[in-house]
Structure 1
Amino acid sequence: MKQSLFENRHKAEWEQFARLLEQLEHDRKATGAGNFPRDYRRLCQHLALARERGYSSFLIDSLQQQVLRGHQQLYRHRSHLGGNVLAFILAGFPRLVREQWRFVLVASLLFFASLAGFALLVYLYPDLVYNLIPARQVSEMQSMYDPVAGHLGRTAERAASEDWVMFGYYIMHNIGIAFQTFASGLLFGLGSVFFLILNGLKIGAVAGHLTYIGYGQTFWSFVIGHGAFELSAIALAGAAGLKLGWALIAPGRLPRAEALRLAARKSVLLICGVMLFLLIAAFIEAYWSSMTHPSHQTKYLVGAALWLLVVVYLVFAGRHRHAPE
């Protein structure tokens, strides 16, 4: 291709890229900045072609200068990733939870109502626990929270494990539950409803049984701390799944595929926040909940403070204009 034809074909792109560079270099929010990485890659391709075809040094130098300036801006804006992540944690995630309050409310009712309801039923009718949980697993649960045992919240096989090993185990276990609850929402939301109720029933069965046999003190003091983040995360994962399912059930005027794509954007952001909650929960469970020397009263106070922190964070964080954007 002749140089003149090459220039005529791409001149408008280069001029637009130059204008965008000017705006970015003066710290102004530029329209089209979201496409900057793509435009930068195209400019690099044009420079490579110009060199390969032996075009004039004037054209090559001009493109080279734009590539160098673009490189500086590209990595300058990539360096803002940490700030964007922090802004999401401090403001974006709780705002999103409030924005999706209908799904959060439904998921929370399904999960916490089934948990509390079945815990009460098992406490009143103890044999119910065996209808949901095998006897062997019930026995394992009892050994984990036996007040006279030398370990707390761990099976006998894992009692000697290092805290960091258990930290990794808790992360993988909890993420598995959350992802299952979220992804099953693609079954028109029915999967998320099923797993929210099932997980609520299982946790409630364990809570009711251990309370009935007199292990309530060790059990509740163990779970109250990390439960603030872990149980909230399960409910939020269910909310993200319900949003996917609702997009398939009621896409409005959009094709189902397009409605699902739009819903998935916010659902995935919700899951990012869920992962953060699960990471915090796993850390607390491994390094605080499993400790045996703090008194039950101390653990209850810390647990209550953590629940209050989660509620205040989700309800109030990011409401003010000075919150990070």
Structure 2
Amino acid sequence: MDLDVFVTAHSAEWDRLEALLRRKRRLTGAEADELVALYQRTTTHLSLLLSTAPDPALTGRLTSLVARARSAVTGARKASWRDAARFFTTAFPAAVYRLRHWWIPTAVLSLTVAALLGWWIAAHPEVQAAIGAPEDLRAMTRPGGEYETYYSSHPAAAFAAQVWTNNAQAVALCLVLGAFAAVPVLWILFQNMLNLGVGIGLMSSAGRLDTFMGLILPHGLLELTAVFIAAGIGLRLGWTLIDPGPRTRRTALAQEGRTALGVAIGLAAVLFLSGALEGFVTPSGLPTWARVTIGAAAELAFLLYVYVLGGRAVRAGEAGDLATPDREAPLPTAA
């Protein structure tokens, strides 16, 4: 191809396309049609140039021109409040509901492990001695001890922010590390249940299990639910790597990874509420029954949110992934 002849033949079209792209006012219907036609022709010109006579300067100009024209033709999609509303009313609860068969068994098994650890510690003084010296354990479990003062040791707002940050990091790690064969997720989950089991065992051995549960339940119901959801979905992500099902492994990991990312964002909001309960309700002067009732009400509201909105969305075909226009169409594959 003679490059000079090619440029002479088509430079007027490129100049016209550039002029249309520089227009400040809204294009008329005829100008918009012309812009689309020139964009298509220039794309073809760039393809021919790259395959036959890749002149760097001309290639750079046409590449920039095609990119600008494509942006003008297709438009850039902007996030809106409607996207946020769709996420919290449809995508997030649908993802949590769809994957309930992973996080509910995770919750049951984890709480069973915590209860068994608590019983083992409470029933065996030698295990308690391995945890700490008797005077240290008494300082932790006595009335006004460390277990009770922990929740009021810092200003409520600062404490709530710290709790939220720590819990959000744990949830994010569960979701992200699920891709690594899920082993790190099990370790994080075990560490959480070990801490809970130690508290149950030590306070039970001191005859103050009711006090401990009164401190844990107001915020712990919602907090642990978020952790179990993150761990369950992290395990599901790890299992997808092993068994992607009828989807290709790449497609399955992409879908489940996007879902996990969305769940992480949604759980950050859940943990924000849990942190507020831990910072303001747990150490408050309210009676134990009132504090536990507030925590139970928050937990019930979240479960209803997941089962009502999420169940409805899943039955309507929602999977908790991005909206169809925001994700690439899967390529057809042979069965």
Relative to the length of structure 2, the TM-score reads: 0.66
Following superposition, the deviation at residue 85 of structure 1 comes to: 2.1
| Matched AA of 1:284 | L
The aligned residue for residue 95 of structure 1 is: 94
Following superposition, the deviation at residue 285 of structure 1 comes to: 0.4
Q: CA distance change for structure 1 residues 253 and 315 in 2, over 3 Å: closer, same or farther?
A: closer
| Matched AA of 2:184 | G
Q: Is the 8 A contact 1:110 1:197 kept in 2?
A: no
Q: Is the 8 A contact 2:219 2:277 kept in 1?
A: yes
Q: CA distance change for structure 1 residues 149 and 103 in 2, over 3 Å: closer, same or farther?
A: closer
Q: CA distance change for structure 1 residues 276 and 128 in 2, over 3 Å: closer, same or farther?
A: farther
The aligned residue for residue 123 of structure 1 is: 122
Is residue 147 from structure 1 mapped to residue 146 from structure 2 by the alignment? no
In 2, the alpha carbon distance for the partners of 1:317 and 1:138 equals 51
Bigger CA radius of gyration: 2
Q: CA distance change for structure 1 residues 148 and 279 in 2, over 3 Å: closer, same or farther?
A: same
Is residue 84 from structure 1 mapped to residue 83 from structure 2 by the alignment? yes
Is residue 261 from structure 1 mapped to residue 226 from structure 2 by the alignment? no
The aligned residue for residue 15 of structure 1 is: 36
In 1, the alpha carbon distance for the partners of 2:92 and 2:134 equals 36
Q: Is the 8 A contact 2:97 2:311 kept in 1?
A: no
Following superposition, the deviation at residue 266 of structure 1 comes to: 1.0
Is residue 304 from structure 1 mapped to residue 296 from structure 2 by the alignment? yes
Q: CA distance change for structure 1 residues 211 and 6 in 2, over 3 Å: closer, same or farther?
A: farther
In 1, the alpha carbon distance for the partners of 2:306 and 2:33 equals 47
Q: CA distance change for structure 1 residues 299 and 146 in 2, over 3 Å: closer, same or farther?
A: farther
In 2, the alpha carbon distance for the partners of 1:280 and 1:137 equals 36
In 2, the alpha carbon distance for the partners of 1:111 and 1:163 equals 29
Relative to the length of structure 1, the TM-score reads: 0.68
In 2, the alpha carbon distance for the partners of 1:316 and 1:137 equals 49
List alignment gaps of at least 5 residues for structure 1. 19-44, 50-62
Identity percentage of aligned residues:
19
The aligned residue for residue 217 of structure 1 is: 210
| Matched AA of 2:276 | F
Tell me the SS of whatever aligns to 2:290.
Answer: helix
Q: Is the 8 A contact 1:145 1:219 kept in 2?
A: no
Following superposition, the deviation at residue 3 of structure 1 comes to: 2.5
Q: Is the 8 A contact 1:143 1:149 kept in 2?
A: yes
Following superposition, the deviation at residue 166 of structure 1 comes to: 0.8
| Matched AA of 2:143 | P
In 2, the alpha carbon distance for the partners of 1:16 and 1:124 equals 81
The aligned residue for residue 32 of structure 1 is: none
The aligned residue for residue 135 of structure 1 is: 132
Following superposition, the deviation at residue 105 of structure 1 comes to: 2.8
The aligned residue for residue 196 of structure 1 is: 189
Tell me the SS of whatever aligns to 2:150.
Answer: coil
The aligned residue for residue 111 of structure 2 is: 112
Is residue 3 from structure 1 mapped to residue 24 from structure 2 by the alignment? no
The one of 175, 182, 206 equivalent to 1:182 is 175
| Matched AA of 1:241 | G
Q: CA distance change for structure 1 residues 3 and 304 in 2, over 3 Å: closer, same or farther?
A: same
Q: Which fold has the larger relative contact order, with Cα–Cα distance below 8 Å and residues 6 or more apart in sequence? A: 2
Alpha-carbon RMSD across the aligned residues, in angstroms, is 4.1
Tell me the SS of whatever aligns to 2:143.
Answer: coil
In 1, the alpha carbon distance for the partners of 2:189 and 2:165 equals 18
The aligned residue for residue 207 of structure 1 is: 200
Task: Give aligned pairs, total.
Answer: 272
